[in-house]
Structure 1
């Protein structure tokens, strides 16, 4: 029976790696300005006191995550993600474009973990936390140096529930996160060198998302190779005030024209991550 479960976990890992690979491919099929960049769910599956969980991965940038169970029920965690470089994209109509990114995310929080009598999901976790994200990207079509700059900053708070299981050589988990995000800055502008330019911004953009995810991992030489795939689903999209500032020049005279409107912005995104994880148990269970 244990052998069959191990085989099932390996098959699950292969499937999740395949799907996560699609989410992480440099050529996405969905064209976005990528101003909302939720990171992977935190699923360490703690089960004892004095357990240190370390993780390094790739998913919306390179990230590192640390968590420590300081009691038999409570854990602290922190994570940082840095996304810098050029990403290649394909729009749904086949146009190729690049996104030059220089983003970062920091988050942390507190968790509660426990064991249950459920054979399939004996480990349960609940986490609350907060984070801050800064987005600085420049996108342009392939072969064209002119495009659009997006600069945004938002903070978020979240609550999350995990359920999973660890076996001798594998583990799997399910997670559901509710995230509220509030933008403090959101500006974008074109970079076309013509006689006029447009600068735009959104005021008070916010949103609530449900972020379900599945993860699976296989352990080799004490290191767990883990894959995760998920999606951020918007639960509401309030109207947001948009202000467009058109700037034109006649000689040395600058003229600005303002236009206000309302938009509905849905905070949605794919979530994917490949990582290596390691646990240190400073006091082994008896």
Structure 2
């Protein structure tokens, strides 16, 4: 029995290391201007009343998650992510570029959890919530002083389902989130020719966000890794407006061109974190 437990622990540790490595890969493989930045899924795996889950991590910025089980079935949660950093990227054709980011995300909601007789996934959770995201980034190719500015804001509502298991030394979980996002504003322009500015109106989309997580307990702290992807389910056409401003003497001349584009909201999801659970009452 001890030998079997040792093999299982080794497999869980290998899974955690693999996920951690994959978390680091999107920054090297994905080339996009990053106007859509879904954050990691909340997978606290609550299993009793008066349980507080704290999580500090790195995933699309520095984040802080908090959830509290105020009954033996219900929990409240909130999360915040701040990203003020320069990301290194490689385009599909191999060109290197940087993205200077000044973004934040705030979200919160309500969750339901229960325990089952399933040996592999004894903890089941369901969450609903809403959030607001602000995007302000500037991307440019290495060695170039000009680039493109993107500024956007969007709100989102989501429903999420989790299944997982916690043991004394480790835990693992699966999550599936459905997110509807609606952009409040979205504008962009390049600094090569700032006389032309563009915007999208009423950009929206529905995504499915599957993710897996695994963690290992060390001195009471869970070292956790999560990896997932945002998959667009609907991508309606949106109106794009390009406004070009020119001057003839002191006279301002504006030319407006309207067109339609189909934009799919997709992104990789990854996070490394330290998690801690505090139980204010012991199980009976």
Common fold: TM-score over 0.5: yes
TMscore range, shorter length = over 0.9
**Match among 240, 253, 256 for residue 254 of structure 2:** 256
Shift of 1:253: 2.8
Indicate the RMSD between aligned Cα atoms, in angstroms. Answer: 1.0
CA offset digits 1:81-138 (Å, max 9, x no partner): 0000211111010111111110000000000000011111101000000000000011
Equivalents in 1 of 2:241, 2:145: separation in Å?
Answer: 25
Runs of 4+ in 1 over 6 A off after TM superposition: none
**Match among 220, 223, 227 for residue 225 of structure 2:** 227
Equivalents in 1 of 2:116, 2:218: separation in Å?
Answer: 27
Q: Secondary structure at the match of 1:35?
A: coil
- Unpaired stretches in structure 1, ≥5 consecutive residues: none
Q: Does 1:155 align with 2:155?
A: yes
Report the equivalent of 1:184: 184
Q: Does 1:170 align with 2:173?
A: no
Equivalents in 1 of 2:117, 2:10: separation in Å?
Answer: 23
Q: How does 1:65-214 map to 2 (within 5 A)?
A: 65-192=65-192, 197-214=195-212
Report the equivalent of 1:15: 18
Shift of 1:7: 1.8
Shift of 1:20: 1.2
Q: Does 1:247 align with 2:245?
A: yes
Q: Secondary structure at the match of 2:12?
A: helix
CA offset digits 1:151-193 (Å, max 9, x no partner): 000000000000000111110000000000000100011112x
Equivalents in 2 of 1:19, 1:77: separation in Å?
Answer: 27
Q: Secondary structure at the match of 1:40?
A: coil
Shift of 1:252: 3.1
Q: Is the contact made by 1:6 and 1:167 (CA closer than 8 Å) also made in structure 2?
A: no
Equivalents in 1 of 2:254, 2:31: separation in Å?
Answer: 30
